[in-house]
Structure 1
Amino acid sequence: MEIPTARRGEYLQTVFRIIEKNGGSLPLREILVEMPKSLIFNEYEAGHYEKTGYVRWRSMMYLYSIDCVKAGWLVKNKGTWSITEEGRKTLQFSPEEFIRIATQKYREWKRQKDFVELVAEDERGADIAEREATIGYEQAAEIARNEIVEHIRALNPYEFQDLAAALLRGMGYYVSEVAAPGPDGGVDIRAYKDPLGVEGARIKVQVKHRKDTKVTNSEVSALNGLLRNGDVGLIVSSGGFTREAVKEMRNSNNHIEKIDLDDLIDFWEEYYDKLREEDKLLLPLRRIAFLAPNK
C-alpha cells in the first residue's frame, strides 16, 4: 500500500495553509499539533513504517518539505517553518500538481549541484534513500526540541524567572535584582552591562510564564510606562506575543525587546558554554552529533 501522490500534496498544502493562517511562520511542533485538526488520517497514514518507526504521514510531510525548500516555497530555521511568497502561490495548484512541480524543482536543484543522474518520474527510490538522513535528523531534532519545551513548561513561574535571569548572565549582563515571590512593582529582573550599572542602559525585564496565553499590547504599554531615562524594556514570555503586542513594541517611544519560548531555547543553546555551572542545572543540555543532511 502506498500513500497517493495527491494525498501527499494535501499534506504539504495543509501545512502551508496552517503556516499562512498563523502569520507566515510557525514552529514545527505547533504545525504537528494542528495537522490532525485539519486532516483526518486513516489507519495506514497514522501507522508506523517498520524500518524507521516513523509515522507515515509525518515522514511524507518531511520528505516533500525538502522539495518545497529547494523550490523556494518554504524556509526552515531552527525548528520554525516559514512560507515564502512563491509558496503562497502554490496553494492555487491541485495537490497532485503541487507535488509534481515540487519534485521537478528538487531535481533541478540536484542537477545544478552535480548530484547523481536523475531518476525516472516514477522511480524515487534513490531520492528517498538520499533523504532518509535529512528526515531522521529533522525528526530527532523535533523530539529533542519538544523535550526541552516540555521541561520549560513544567517550571513554575519563579523557576522560569530564574531561567531568564540565568540566560542574561550567560549573555554577559550583570543581574542586580531578581524579584522575590510577591508584588514586584512590575519589574521581575533588573540587569546592567557592567557590575556597577554605570555603563549603557538599564534593562528592566518582565517575565510571563503562561503556556497558552500570549502577552498583549496592554502589557507592553504597562512596561513602557515603567521605563525612564533610556531604560531598555524586555519581556520574556513562554506563551508568545500577540501581533498587537509586537506592533506596540515597534511603535513605542522606548526601546522594548521580546524573547519568546523559541528565542529563549535558541539563546540558551548559543550561550550554554558561558553559563555558570549552577545555572546550567536549570536547563541541562547535552550535544549529540548527527550525520549532516544534504543542503
Structure 2
Amino acid sequence: MKNVTIKGETSKTTQIAQKVIYAVFETLKKEPEGLPKKDLLTKVAPIFSSDNYANSFLEKSGGRRWETILNFYSINCTKAGFLIKKSGNWSLTQEGEEAMKQGAAKLLQTIKQKYKEWQSSDNIDTEVEEPDAEVNSQTQLAFLETFKDKALEGINAFIRAKNPYEFQDLVATLLKAMGYYIAEVAKKGKDGGIDIIAYKDPLGVEAPRIIVQVKHYTDDNKVSAPAVQQLAGVLKRSTDIGIFVTSSSFTSEAKREAHNNTKHIQLIDFTKFVELWETYYANLSLEDRKQLPLEPIYFLGTNQ
C-alpha cells in the first residue's frame, strides 16, 4: 500500500481527535458492558456544543466533523485493541482503560502508533487533518460508518413516529418473517405483561412457547430491570422463552437481570431489531415491507 498523507489543518483536527477519543474512552470506562453507539454519541456531543468548526457538516460524508473524525480514529482504536465494536455496541478494553492514563494527547499518539504496527505493509501516514480529504481504506471505512449512522438515524426517526401498537405489529411481523407462528397480538388495553405469543408450529404443540413484551419509546428512555422482572413473572411454563423488544435500549441493570434470571429471556434493542429486520427483509411480503421499508445501497468495500 502506498504512503498516503491526508492534508488539512493539523491543529484543529488533531485537537478534535484528542478530545473526542478521550471523551469516548472516559464515557465507556463508566459502562463496563459498553453502550450502543447512538447513546455514546449523545453523551459525547455536549463537549462540542459551542464548537462551530467541530459541528460543521462535511460535504463528502454528510456527517458532522467530530463524528467523522471519531469514526476514522475508532478504526485505529479497534486495531490497537483499545475498543471493541460489536452489533452497534462500543466497549472499552482493559488495555484501552490503561492507555487513558497517558492523557488525551499521548493516547492519540499511542493509538496511531499501534495502528501503524498493525499494518502489514507500508505504513499510512495517519497524521490526519481532514479524514475526508483523500480516499484510502481507512477513510473509506470511516465514510461507510458515517453513512450507516445517518441511515440508522432515519430508521430511528421512522420507528419513533409510530405509536406503540404499530411498533408491536412491526415486532409481530418480524417474528413471522423469522419463521414463527403468531398466535396472539395484544389488543388495546391491559395486556397482563404479554404483547405477543408465538410458536414454532401452527398449532402451538411444539415447545417452546414464546412470550414477547414490547416497549416503545419516542424519547431516550431505557427499559429498566423491573420491566424485565415483570416479563419473567409471566413465563409460567418451564419451557417458556421470553423476548423483550424495545425501540430504545436497556439499562445495565436490565441486562444483568435478563442474564442472571432463572428464566430464559432474550433482549432485543433498537440496533438488534434493525439488524434482524434487515436480515429477514427478503422473507417479508411486499405488504409487510411497507411497515418499515428499506432500500439497500451498495458501496465498494475494503479488505480490512
TM-score, length basis structure 2: 0.86
Q: 2:156 corresponds to which residue?
A: 149
Most deviating of 236-245 and 100-109:
236-245
Q: Check whether the contact 2:63–2:150 (CA below 8 A) recurs between aligned residues.
A: no
Q: Which residue of 2 aligns with 1:171?
A: 178
Kindly provide the CA deviation profile for residues 126-146 of structure 1, in whole angstroms up to 9, marking residues without a partner as x.
996413211211111111111
Q: 2:272 aligns with which of 263, 268, 274?
A: 263
Which residue of 1 is the match for residue 226 of structure 2?
Answer: 218
Q: What amino acid is aligned across from residue 123 of structure 2 in structure 1?
A: L
Give the C-alpha shift of residue 36 in structure 1.
2.6
Matches within 5 A, 1:49-128: 49=58, 54-110=63-119, 112=120, 114=121, 117-118=122-123
Match of 2:195 among 171, 180, 188: 188
Deviation at 1:47? Answer: 2.8
Query: Does residue 236 of the first structure (1) align with residue 245 of the second (2)?
Result: yes
Q: For the Cα contact (< 8 Å) 1:217–1:245, is it kept in 2?
A: yes
Aligned to 2:42: 33
Letter in 2 for 1:261: F
Query: Is the contact between residue 134 and residue 294 of structure 1 (CA under 8 Å) also seen in structure 2?
Result: no
1:247 equivalenced with 2:256 (yes/no): yes
The structure with higher relative contact order (CA 8 Å, sep 6+) is 2
1:14/1:196 Cα in 2 relative to 1: closer, same or farther (>3 Å)?
Answer: same
Tell me, yes or no, if the aligned pair for 2:82 and 2:96 is still in contact at 8 Å: yes
**Alignment gaps of 5+ in structure 1:** none
Q: Map residues 128-139 of structure 1 onto 2, 5 A cutoff.
A: 129-130=135-136, 131-139=138-146
d(CA) in 1 for partners of 2:299 and 2:265?
37
Query: Separation in 1 of the partners of 2:58 and 2:212?
Result: 47
Following the alignment from structure 2 to structure 1, what is the Cα–Cα distance between the partners of residues 203 and 234? 21
* CA deviation string 1:178-223 (max 9, x = no partner): 1111222321111000001111111111111123332222222222
CA–CA distance in 1 between the matches of 2:126 and 2:242? 55
Q: Which residue of 2 aligns with 1:200?
A: 207
- The question of whether the paired residues in 1 share the 8 Å contact of 2:198 and 2:209 is answered with yes
2-side partners of 1:245 and 1:53: how far apart? 35
- Check 1:118–1:231 CA distance in 2 against 1; reply closer, same or farther (3 A cut): closer
Count of aligned positions: 291
